[in-house]
Amino acid sequence: MNITLRVWRQPNAAAEGRMVTYRVEDVSEHMSFLEMLDVLNERLTLEGDDPIAFDHDCREGICGMCGVVINGIAHGPQQTTTCQLHMRSFADGAVIDVEPWRAEPFPVIKDLVVDRSAFDRIIQAGGFISVPTGSAPDAHATPVPKRDADHAFDAATCIGCGACVAACPNGSATLFTAAKITHLGLLPQGQPERDSRVLGMVAQHEEEGFGSCTNIGECTAVCPKGIPLETISRMNRDLLGALSRNQA
């Protein structure tokens, strides 16, 4: 395949960015999108140019590092992570725009790399449980209803990629926050901090400057882990309960 890439280049957080066009030839349809960028970067390096900065780590859809906007869609045309997107998803001769996540709480560090530490601070505000020290409890010592275990596991598959924020017209991180609240709040181990968790994490979400959820649903449409909108309903129910119990 031969393709044309138009890539956002921005030398640093303070500099202005712009789209730069690159022709990439002999691309295998079996390459992942990141491997195609690797090939381009190798060429840029050999030519003495600055390679395109992009985030990645596991390259198998589990770390959540590799998000970019491809042709206006977070993670591109398949509902998967950018590292799991293959070039066979594009036509020979395609012109492909590649941009970083666009959201105020995710400032660009360089090229396609954004600072997602706002997510870390939301987790720090309540995404944990207190675990007493001592010997490990016996397996099955704490029964969990199958339904709760399944919903908690589904919510726990959120990899913190940030695609939901990039896709949301409000720049909201509600799907991410709701997934992190839900996966702990449904389990017995998550009950002691249930109220403080939802109050703290929702307050931090606002503090970071993310927008509010207005049920548009773009987030779940691009989420590589298929986190459903009902996760947000669970969070809202938790939040209302916590607010009513903690008003005094």
The binding site for ligand SF4 (CB under 6 A) comprises 158-164, 175-176, 179, 223-225, 227
56 binds ligand FES (CB under 6 A): yes
CB of 119 to ligand SF4, least distance (A): 7
Q: Which does 113 bind (CB under 5 to 8 A by kind): ligand SF4, ligand FES, none?
A: none
Amino acid identity, position 100:
P
Q: Which does 164 bind (CB under 5 to 8 A by kind): ligand SF4, ligand FES, none?
A: ligand SF4
CB of 124 to ligand SF4, least distance (A): 16
Q: Can you name the residues that pair with 246 across neighbouring β-strands?
A: none
Site size for ligand FES (CB under 6 A): 12
Q: Which CB atom, from 3 or from 179, has the smaller least distance to ligand SF4? A: 179
Q: Which CB atom, from 27 or from 161, has the smaller least distance to ligand SF4? A: 161
- Which residues, 6+ apart, have CB-to-CB distance to 66 below 8 Å? 34, 54, 55, 56, 57, 59, 81, 82, 83, 161
Q: Which CB atom, from 40 or from 154, has the smaller least distance to ligand SF4? A: 154
DSSP states of 43-99 as a string?
Answer: HHHHTTPPPPP---SSSSSSS-----EETTEET-SSSS-GGG-BGGGS-TT-EEEEE
Separation of alpha carbons 221 and 74, rounded Å: 10
Identify the sign of the CA torsion 169, 84, 111, 65: positive
Q: Which does 223 bind (CB under 5 to 8 A by kind): ligand SF4, ligand FES, none?
A: ligand SF4
Q: Which CB atom, from 166 or from 187, has the smaller least distance to ligand FES? A: 166
Separation of alpha carbons 225 and 68, rounded Å: 16
Out of 9, 43, 44, 61, which residue is the one contacting ligand FES (CB under 6 A)?
Answer: 61
Q: Using CB under 6 A, which of the segments 55-63, 97-105, 168-176, 181-189 binds ligand FES? A: 55-63
- Which residues, 6+ apart, have CB-to-CB distance to 71 below 8 Å? 77, 96, 97
64 binds ligand FES (CB under 6 A): yes
Chain centroid to CA 101: 10
DSSP states of 105-138 as a string?
Answer: TS-EEETTEE--HHHHHHHHTT-------SSPPP
Q: Which does 176 bind (CB under 5 to 8 A by kind): ligand SF4, ligand FES, none?
A: ligand SF4
Q: What is the binding site for ligand FES (CB under 6 A)? A: 56-59, 61-66, 81, 83
